[in-house]
């Protein structure tokens, strides 16, 4: 299994306006970093209604249709994200087939990435931990399957 590190930051701009009647609804912003090969994805964690409204592509609609048959859309304490591949050299963000679900009650994060174009077709379920030192440019939550000291 590939090494993964997920960092979640509290969105300081949550519920502020970006235009008339338009609000920033992401509760958390974050990164998913993978090794061997090095790959980075960006996530914005929303409550289900806001996340569902962002589903515009067929692959995303397929995920929504699959989840509609479960209790996830109405479950309390869950936040969801679509994934964007991030190229740090060109700063290009590319939507990919995949999603992340974080349970704020059980502190579990499930990530599903189906992106052969970026050498990633995998799933993880990780325990999420609060960070001791928080602040500007420091994550408030982290999930990993590797010791980050050696990262």
Give the pLDDT confidence of 17-35 residue by residue, as tens digits: 666 655 678 899 999 999 9
In this prediction, residue 69 carries a pLDDT of 86
In this prediction, residue 29 carries a pLDDT of 93
What is the C-alpha to C-alpha distance for residues 26 and 125, in angstroms, rounded to an integer? 21
In this prediction, residue 107 carries a pLDDT of 97
Which helix (H) or strand (E) is 109 found in, with range? strand 108-115
Q: Encode pLDDT of 3-20 as tens digits.
A: 999 999 988 777 676 666
- Domain range for 126 is 4-150
In this prediction, residue 28 carries a pLDDT of 93
If you ran DSSP here, which 8-state letter would residue 61 be given? H
In this prediction, residue 100 carries a pLDDT of 97
- Residues lower than pLDDT 70 in the chain: 15, 17-23, 135, 150-151
Query: Reduced to 3 states, what is the DSSP secondary structure of residue 72?
Result: helix
Q: How many CB atoms lie within 10 A of CB 151?
A: 10
In this prediction, residue 97 carries a pLDDT of 95
In this prediction, residue 80 carries a pLDDT of 97
The number of distinct structural domains making up the chain is: 1
């Amino acid at each position: 299994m590939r090494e993964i590190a997920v960092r979640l930051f509290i969105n300081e701009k949550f519920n502020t306006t970006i235009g008339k009647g338009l609000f920033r609804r992401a509760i958390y912003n974050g990164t998913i970093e993978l090794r061997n090969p090095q790959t980075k994805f960006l996530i914005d964690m929303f409550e289900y209604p806001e996340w569902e409204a962002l589903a515009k592509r067929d692959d995303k609609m397929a995920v929504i249709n699959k989840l509609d048959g479960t209790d996830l859309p109405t479950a309390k304490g869950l936040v969801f994200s679509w994934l964007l591949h991030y190229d740090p050299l060109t700063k290009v963000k590319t939507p990919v087939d995949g999603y992340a679900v974080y349970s704020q009650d059980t502190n579990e994060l499930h990530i599903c990435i189906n992106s052969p174009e970026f050498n990633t077709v995998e799933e993880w379920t990780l325990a999420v931990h609060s960070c001791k030192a928080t602040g500007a440019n420091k994550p408030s939550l982290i999930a990993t399957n590797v010791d980050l000291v050696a990262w």
